[in-house]
Amino acid sequence: MFFKIEDEIGNVYGEFKCRYLDPHSPKTELVMKRIRQKYAADIRSKKLSDMDAVRAVFVEGVLLDWKGVLDEKDKEVPFTVADAIEFFNLEDNRWLLNELSVLAGDVKNFQKEAVVEEVEKN
């Protein structure tokens, strides 16, 4: 599912493809555990702060792709995990990760419209 992210005045920051972030799913827990283990040494040595690790876990475990993300010269940046981690570590872009976390954690965003309408009726 691609989520188009824009600010309150309509500036578009790109479209971000995310998988559903279900914190109670055994599959999600396994993916998150694997990624945390990957970064464990960097966290212990303080190369990565706890928040940097959280961003890395999101990028590697939830974010699948992006479109329309631009660099400082307004050139589109192809999606890579390394570029995404760097992008979300920038102070000005951290709010985007919060927005995406909320969207990726809402199951209604990943259901077909008919199912969502039926759930909302009840």
Cα distances from 102 to residues 47, 58, 61, 62, 96, in angstroms, run: 27, 12, 15, 12, 10
Mean pLDDT (whole number) for 69-73: 92
| Chain segment 19-57, per-residue pLDDT in tens | 998 878 887 788 778 877 888 888 788 887 778 878 888
Mean pLDDT (whole number) for 98-119: 80
Q: What is the pTM of this model?
A: 0.80
Measure the CA–CA gap between 97 and 63, rounded to whole angstroms: 10
The residue ranking higher by pLDDT, 81 or 32, is 81
**Residue 11, class by beta-carbon neighbours within 10 Å (0-12 exposed, 13-18 middle, 19+ buried)?**
exposed
Query: For residue 76, is pLDDT > 90?
Result: yes
